[in-house]
Amino acid sequence: MNEPCLGHLPETTIMRYLNLDHLRRCIATLQSSLSFYQRADPDSIEQEVFRNAIVKGYELTQETTFKLLKKALKAFGHGGRKLESTPIKDILRLAALHDLLTLDEVERWFRYRDNRNDTAHDYGEAFARETLTLMPGFLEDVARLADRLQDKLGEDAV
C-alpha cells in the first residue's frame, strides 16, 4: 500500500486545532499595561515604562495575530509557502473572505498595521499618543478576532 508520508499530507490534515492561548495572554498583558499606564502619574517614569510596554505589547500582539491568521488560512486551503510571502494587508483581505474579519475591521487592521510599521522608525511621544488612541479599538478588534478564530478553528470547533 502506498500511503503518503506525513510530510506530504496537506497542512489541513495535520492541524488539529488552532491554539489561541498565547494570543489571549498577549491581549491580557496589553490590557493590563494600558490600565497601569492610565493609573500612573502623568509624565512620570512609571507612565513612560507602561507606555513602552504598551508599544511592545502592541507589536507582539499583532505579530502573534498575523501568525495565527496564516495558520487559519492554511486550514482553509491556502498554501503555506505562498502565505509566507503574502503581504500582511493581503492576509487581512483573505481573512475577510473566510469571515474571520468584516470589511470594516479589515480597514481598521490596515490602520493598526500602518501604525505598527511606524514603531520601527519612531518611538517618540507623538507616535505613542497615536498608538494609545488606537488601543481601545485595537483591543476590542483583536479580542473579537480571537473569538472568531476560536469558534471556527479552536479546540472545541474540531
First-last CA distance in the chain: 29
Provide, rounded to the nearest whole percent, the portion of the chain with pLDDT above 90.
70
Question: Does 28 score more than 80 pLDDT?
Answer: yes
Within a domain: residue 15?
A: no
Within a domain: residue 2?
A: no
Within a domain: residue 129?
A: yes
Q: Which amino acid is at 105?
A: E
* C-alpha cell read off for 113: 498595521
Per-position b or e across 68-93, b if 16+ CB within 10 A of its CB: bbbbbbbbeebeeeebeebebeebbb
Within a domain: residue 89?
A: yes
> pLDDT at position 123, please?
59
Residues spanned by the domain of 95: 20-157
Give the pLDDT band (50/70/90) at residue 129: confident
Within a domain: residue 132?
A: yes
Within a domain: residue 150?
A: yes
For cell 479589515, the residue is 106
For position 152, which CATH number holds?
1.20.120.330
> pLDDT at position 121, please?
54
Distance CA 96, CA 76 (A): 12
Within a domain: residue 63?
A: yes
Within a domain: residue 47?
A: yes
Q: Are 50 and 37 in contact (CB under 8 A)?
A: yes
Per-residue pLDDT tens for 75-97? 999 987 899 999 999 999 999 99
Domains contained in the chain, number: 1
Task: Give mean pLDDT, residues 103-127.
Answer: 81
